[in-house]
Amino acid sequence: MTWISPAGSFGVRELMSVESVFKVHPGTCLVILSRTLETTHGYTVLKPLLDSRFKVQVVTPDLPFLFKGTLAEAWFRELIKGKKDPGEIPLSQNLSNLIRLVVLYKYGGIYIDTDFIVLKPLTGLRNSIGAQSMDLRSKHWTRLNNAVLIFDMKHPLLHEFISEFALTFDGNKWGHNGPYLVSRVIKRLLKRPGFIFKILPPTAFYPADWNKIRGFLRKPKTQTESKWVEAKVLQLRAETYGIHLWNKQSRRLTIEDGSVIGKLALNHCIICNNIFSS
């Protein structure tokens, strides 16, 4: 995980995501790359999990060291010298896009966003990325997303992602250096040999697209809606590795008791504090 926002913004939903990791993988080690959370406040936020002996470690990323020896090194040097326009999109967002790629390239592992609830073990997946949307007729993906990335160290696809970031960076277009980046690189490389990876269907990580997440947060008001919620929860438990909450679009919406997300969160939390106030 990465967290480049202020520590005070790391709230109930973000902690819920962390808890879900340990609920499904109790023996795992979770690293959160964050300068703001490697503080007294950050320690306080994570203390309940640390007291329960879960292995969560906050590390301030040393960006020059991290990027050294990769194509990100020259890009970052130009940025620091003022020769690269950071654009209007918050730089923290684009740095997060790059950091996850470089960390996975150098060390391998699993990256997930802090607004993702893990429902099933991810450890059986390897060199995988998820489709966000799919054409219903052709069954071919139309957009990929980088909120969940699972790759071996030095995987050539990660090298291509980093190269694309450095060569085509645009800080003025939302998603250009994130979901759109992984989509255009993979579209270009699909027919080239030497790139072995798996594209999982939207049901794997993105069963609710950003424009439909509102319905997953609302409690049912009719018997028909209650039946839909129960059926959807059963479907997600059977078919989905996790669900992306799209906090950019849903942060101002409350997780309501009895909603799809509410039911899933209750079954995949550990501390379980204030879920329905988030």
Token digits for 156?
Answer: 């050539």
**Model confidence at 156: pLDDT above 90:** yes
**Model confidence at 13: pLDDT above 70:** yes
Condensed to tens digits (0 to 9), the pLDDT of residues 102-135 reads: 999 999 999 999 999 999 999 999 999 999 999 9
Q: Could you tell me which residues are beta bridge partners of residue 2?
A: 33
pLDDT of residue 241: 98
Mean of pLDDT values over 19-25? 97
Q: In this prediction, what percent of the chain has a pLDDT beyond 70?
A: 99
**Model confidence at 83: pLDDT above 90:** yes
Report the chain's mean pLDDT, rounded to a whole number.
94
What Cα–Cα distance (Å) separates residue 13 from each residue in 42, 53, 190, 226, 266? 15, 21, 35, 24, 12
Say what the pTM is. 0.94
Mean of pLDDT values over 170-194? 93
